[in-house]
Amino acid sequence: MGSEDDVGNLIDVDSGDDDYDDGNSDIPMSSMNSDEEYDFITKDPADIDLLTSQRTQKDYTILKDEDIRRRQEDDIKKVASVLSVSRGAAIILLRRYNWRVSTVHEEWFADEEKVRNAVGLQENPPILQISPDEDVSCGICFESYSFPAGIRAAACGHPFCRTCWRGYICTAVNDGPGCLMLKCPDPSCNAAIGKDMIEDLVAPEYKEKYCRYLVRSYIEDSRNIKWCPAPECECAVEFVVGSGSSDVICSCSYGFCWKCSEEAHRPVDCDMVAEWILKNNAESENTNWILSYTKPCPKCKRPIEKNNGCMHMTCRTPCGFEFCWLCLGSWFEHGRRTGTCNDFRTEEERKFDESERREMARKSLVRYTHYYERWAANQSSREKARRDLHHMQAVQLVKLSEIQCQPETQLKFISDAWLQIVECRRVLKWTYAYGYYLPENEDTKRRFFEYLQGQAETGLERLHMCVEKELNTYLEAAEPSNDFNDFRAKLTCLTGVTRNYFDNLVRAIENDLADVDSVGACSETSSKIADGSSNQ
């Protein structure tokens, strides 16, 4: 780790303007390893404000419970007003079409009768021809009750006693969200049971449970709103589908990916995350699986799984070697010699093959362990940083404000540093998963990636050490420190530099390290020019 005194020599710029060429390699990077070549440049305040607004611009909206209920009520009122139906009927229609108001309107005006039949809303419901206080038989328990005190009917007119209605609805509510599509108890009837009837018949706890299902359906049936997956969080997130990054940070501080609902994992894609998580969960079985179900490619020695019936195997690109699964001989020479696959092999020959397979499994496990340990270490460090952030905001910020005689608003740079550390630990963690799946044969890309990753990691360690250890000096001081403003400038600078390092790393990975080609081309051109000059 470099000296902390080098912070004044770091530059806060985009790596897209950096010159990687040192003329000595395909990917010239050594000239950038020294912090002495960086000069801190003070940006124009307007540029800083623009950059900050771009970074903090969100493509999503956090919805609390009251926001969700207000939106749902607005949609219900819209449908009820435009279609001239009751509130209960509007809810039934919206549930049918996944709470899409425009779809309800389109379908209704295209064919109202078809929609009514589909959802169970009768246009001209029958009227019960029953005199007041006349006894009516319940269609479920067959007991006689006076009407309307003891008997209730849905829009279809099928009469059932209030006790049976109550039992029917409460059972449906206890069974789950299916109660939102409740129909008349008569098996031959398709009439829908509306929210107004449920509120009239059941106890308050069942009404509340039904309303919770209704609110949840508003989110879960939506195409652009999801619940925050954090435990005990009741917020939802409305996302602008088709916008840039899929990462979302809820008001509860939990970050997750909109597409797969796993924790936020930019810059790697969802497929890689799913594959990495699956591998981590099953790694204890991997070595035995490799030994039991794979063989090494005779040419590149990578483990090969047989997934088809014939014995003709082809190693994946770029190797492409074709061989026989049984004898591991070249497939093109396979038919020229007789007895290749059915010849008995001696014990020494079998031991040699088994040793080769075990060595292959060992190397595979060592490589995985290298990346997993760093992935897990950054995850652990991130969790510790989050705890330190909360402790700093709740306790240390007030203490520091009193000691240094500065308002808490002027100490925001410390919170910014901790937030940057938490975010960078998350990004760095997932870059190790990316490095594991980066093809081993793409050496140029790998060296370029490891260079960017190393620069970002070094910057992060400097920032983390500064805010974690140097801050304690000012927290333990008995009086205001004369050099506290110098510490502010240093920490602010480190935060900005680290952010830029990680921005560069993220952009490079999201572009699949495409800059390697241009950097390599520039290096090759410079080399040719240099050769031409020397020849002259």
The residues annotated as belonging to the active site are 310
Per-residue burial over 175-201, b = 16 or more CB atoms within 10 Å of its CB, e = otherwise: eeeebbebebbbeebebbbbbebbeeb
First to last CA, the chain: 43
Per DSSP, what are the bridge partners of residue 323?
Answer: 313, 330
* Alpha helices per DSSP H over 157-261: 162-175, 195-201, 204-220
Cis check: omega of the bond before 267, within 30 degrees of 0 = yes
Which own/partner contact pairs does 437-440 have at CB distance under 8 Å and 24+ positions apart? 437/272, 437/275, 437/276
**Dihedral over alpha carbons 47, 49, 51, 55 (to 10 degrees):** 180
Return the DSSP state at 468.
I
The phi, psi pair for 396, rounded to 5°, reads -70, -30
Taking the C-alpha atoms of residue 253 and residue 97, their distance in angstroms, rounded to an integer, is: 33
* Alpha helices per DSSP H over 156-203: 162-175, 195-201
CA angle 291, 292, 293 (to 5 degrees): 105
From residue 361, how far is each of 74, 276, 317, 355 by CA, in Å? 61, 18, 20, 10
Question: Residue 148 has which token pair?
Answer: 């309307």
Per DSSP, what are the bridge partners of residue 319?
Answer: none
Q: Are 498 and 426 in contact, with CB atoms under 8 Å apart?
A: no
Question: Residue 22 has which token pair?
Answer: 């040192």
Q: Are 208 and 179 in contact, with CB atoms under 8 Å apart?
A: no
Q: How do 60-63 and 322-324 pair as beta strands?
A: unpaired
